[in-house]
Chains A and B, each alone.
Chain A
Amino acid sequence: MSNQTDTQTKIVGKPVPRKEGRAKVTGAARYIDDLRMDGMLYGATVRSAVPRGRIREIKFGAGLPWDEFVVVTAADIPGENCVALILLDQPYLVAKFINHAEEPILLLAHADKHLLEKARRAVTFDVEPLSPIFTLEESLAKKEIIWGEDNIFKSYQVNKGNVDEVWAQADFIIEGEYRTGAQEQLYIEPNGVIAVANADAGVTVWGSMQCPYYVHKALLKLFALPEEKIRVIQTETGGGFGGKEEYPSMIAGHAALLSWKAGGRPVKIIYDRAEDMVATTKRHPSRTRHRTAVNKDGKLLGMEIEFVIDGGAYATLSSVVLSRGTIHAAGPYNCPNVRINAHAVATNVPPHGAFRGFGAPQSIFALERHLDKVAQVVGLSPAEFRRRNFIHEGETTATGQVIREPVDMEGLLARAFELTDYQAKRERFARANEGRSLKRGIGFASFMHGAGFTGSGEVYLQSIVGAEAGADGRVRLLAASTEIGQGTNTIFAQIAADALQIDFDLIEVAQPDTSNVPNSGPTVASRTTMIVGKLVESAALGLKQTLQNSGLLKANYTTDDWRAACRRHVEQFGLLKSFSQYKPPPGINWDEGKYQGDAYGAYAWAVYVAEVTVDMLTYEARVEDFVALQEVGKVVHPVLAAGQIEGGVAQAIGFTLYENVVWSEGRMLNNQMTNYIIPTSADIPPIRVYFEEQPYAYGPAGAKGIGELPMDGGAPAILNAIEHATGVAFNHVPLLPEALMQALNQTA
């Protein structure tokens, strides 16, 4: 290897090839279903057909060799029958009370997959039905109490100033109601795990997942074993988008229970696509109500916001989804008086869960649609109204967080308009649409997204990252943060290579395995680059410092010097290791009780512009052009970063125009990829991605988080554009041709 890196060429900011790229394009990458073990059984889950009821009897149909099957019910659970997450309300298997359709009741395993499927269909339940509730309105009205005392998983109230005093002074008061639907993550690799479990060896699980330590924590409780007896290993993961944040704890527990009962024979469970779609988590449906006070100069005086999300049958992550949605509900605007009331409520549908954006796409959709309406009432353009209210450095968000970083929303808006020729198109389309059957429109949304866990979340997590250097100078990074396609391995290696000023190829990232890597926290919340990446940087620097302190490495060194120093260190003292633990940046304060303070260490800021056509004959709306402009701190890898934005925007286009979960009796009816439509290559316009870079002092090399941001702005930008094209204000997503037809026929 050359000493080329002596020149200290930075790798951060360069589009180096993905670490796992070659394995993925040659078919060599091994996902969970590509692995098998000797003597392996296949597992299946028998689920409830009804949304709510009490089990009276389990029946096994005739004609099957039931003695050949491993059968697990709630009575077989060695520890506690709950999926440990935030609360302990969700069982692994129903013991008595069913709370949603498709709830797991019984597990089966057999070596013959086909026979297993026959058996799964032959188990039936005699159930005494109970009255279910399916909508957030029914839940709020307490039509039935199905969870706790009032169906409420969590409520927050955010208060800034005194919103009650502004209504009298307002020149305009504008109200609106906005809704978003459930959305299926639809990672192309379905959920899957392999488990080996018995009392002597403990429990080992391999699988597709985002958060190995979530699974670890859940299995501890399920099996009541000591920590070192539980081992969780992430295998190559075919997409997550939040859908593999909490659900893998469920399927891992199921496979492990079967293996436990089978005396430690390996058990593999891979969900069929239809099962994955019907039974696992989706994005929380939401309803947001706005009441906004504005003066005649177009300045925001007060915002009263009610934000409600449907959490499904169990608490899972709803409280945290609600939190992020609540904090983002008032957007990047400077408003002196804000009150937000937020609730996550229970219904008898499968629990809703994490999906990219985590509540923020829902509340931002409402706000950015509402502000177009407010602008119209006040008599300003959507752009001018926002310009008069954008937040600036030194001003405060809804939670009272003082923005300490430079923020230039006006600048972003101006550049986004220039990139799209927005002003000219806005006028030209309005003129040209008259009498045409293909109507064109252009609209935008301006928004921000907080990176990392909300409030004190990162402090509680106490994430740790390790780095170790071998005698050959190779550096291994130890973290539980998973590569799920977003580029974790590559980005961590870039950050470490620059911190150590050594060759990128010398850095490798260990497979996340709870027996080998420390808990760097879950792979969620746009935290991997910004929070965990910073720990990677400091753990790597720790290696260098140790070598320099022990006199093995001089201040200026080459890659060869580095190798030599590592070799000497290993010879003299053994393996060189360094660990780094999270410390909050200075001046971060959060009051969990009052929901006041610094909600996030840093925000990414963005303006997205969508151009659409609406066909007045077919009522199809299409996105023709999309510009995504964002300020995300230092861009660590321009190609991966652009890929994150393009992918998020594609999912947002699906969320807005295509992806409709059809519910019947609390069950998804269209659980296939032919009737739950996600965008194909033919549905997506060329997505044009632009970055502004304003380095963040506490991110690695100045980076902030970006993963969720692109999910936020698409829906409102597209619906704002559709309103521009058609003159009709649509306030719900998904917006399907049926709804367009109905509304446009009425106005015609």
Chain B
Amino acid sequence: MKRKKDRGAKGNAPDAAERESSAAEHESCADELIQLLSEDGAARRRFLKQTLLAGGGLAAANLLFSYHARASAHTSAAADAAAAPSNKLSTIPVTLRVNGRDYPLQLEPQVMLLDALRERIGLTGSKKGCDRGQCGACTVLADGHRINSCLALAASYDGAEITTIEGLARGDELHPLQAAFIKHDGFQCGYCTPGQIMSAAGLLREGCPTGMTVRECMSGNICRCGAYNGILAAIEEVRGSKA
């Protein structure tokens, strides 16, 4: 159930009205589906609702199905545990392969990849800007594809090759994108920067689809400082030198 970043969703930024009307259409459906879920945790319900509202499509439906199964399992387990107050799920073994190193972990099934990276492994370079897949600050590469790690279940990435911002440089030698971001001042506050750079790294590998610009292909990574001109200049420089 690996989710690859939906290029279409990343590339086409629908206008406000369009996004809102599509959200409204999905809402009743979302509510119904959410009813199916037990008290698995407010955060997960919120996430599911987000995913559905954002029009996540098939990927979201698959996820939901899987959640449903897990949530049901959990409900009975929790009932057995006679109202254990912390409502903890049992853990499962997951080995995350991050920046070339294996991290064998025991994770609750609902732990997101971003939280596993930041809180279990201690790689805090990937940032949590929204926790809903809306800002892109948490972007990492999974088997070379850029994903929002806040929307990715860690357990689903068992064995996948994860690359985070910490894994990009080779020792003291910066990755060309990192060097280009410095050269073109492709950031100000730096908080979205790890996500921007990882997204750019994924884009370089994917290539820009015909008819789309780098501007569009990077539109899933929001920079409130507005350093877009620098970000695009940095990416274009590295793209140019690779071509």
Contact = CB atoms under 8 A, between A and B. Distances in A.
B224 A186 contact: yes
B58 interface: no
B227 A484 contact: no
A674 B21 CA distance: 12
Contacts of B128: 33
Interface stretch (B141-149, B152-160, B161-169): B161-169
Interface centre among B50, B134, B181 (most CB of A within 10 A): B134
Nearest to A736: B16
B219 A188 contact: no
A208 to B, nearest CB: 9
A682 to B, nearest CB: 4
A675 B178 contact: no
Contacts of B187: 21, 24-25, 485
A737 interface: yes
Contact of A188 (B135, B164, B182, B230): B135
A240 B220 CA distance: 21
A18 B185 contact: yes
Interface in B73-101: 83, 85-87
Interface string A221-249: 00000000000000011111100000000
Interface string B18-30: 0110010000000
Contact of B125 (A15, A27, A620, A647): A27
Given A27-B126, A643-B230, A687-B229, A678 B222 contact: yes
- Interface SS of chain A: helix, strand, loop or mixed? loop
Nearest to A737: B17
Nearest to A185: B224
A620 B43 CA distance: 35
B87 A673 contact: no
B131 A25 contact: no
A180 B42 CA distance: 36
Interface residues of B, number: 70
Given A188-B189, A680-B219, A686-B229, A26 B87 contact: no
Contacts of A501: none
Contacts of B229: 646, 684, 686-687
B218 interface: yes
A188 B192 contact: yes
B124 interface: yes
Contacts of B19: 674-675, 677
Contacts of B23: 674-675
B87 A737 contact: no
B15 interface: yes
A658 interface: yes
A26 B169 contact: yes
A236 B17 CA distance: 36
Given A620-B15, A681-B219, A27 B194 contact: yes
Given A26-B178, A31-B191, A239-B224, A188 B127 contact: yes
B185 A484 contact: no
Nearest to A237: B189
A711 to B, nearest CB: 11
A238 to B, nearest CB: 3
17 contacts: A18-B185, A25-B165, A25-B182, A27-B164, A34-B118, A64-B85, A117-B42, A239-B188, A239-B224, A639-B185, A646-B228, A647-B225, A648-B226, A660-B16, A673-B135, A682-B216, A737-B16
Interface of B: 11, 13, 15-17, 19-20, 23, 41-43, 50, 53-54, 83, 85-87, 118, 123-132, 134-135, 137, 164-166, 168-169, 174, 178, 181-183, 185, 187-194, 197, 213, 215-216, 218-232
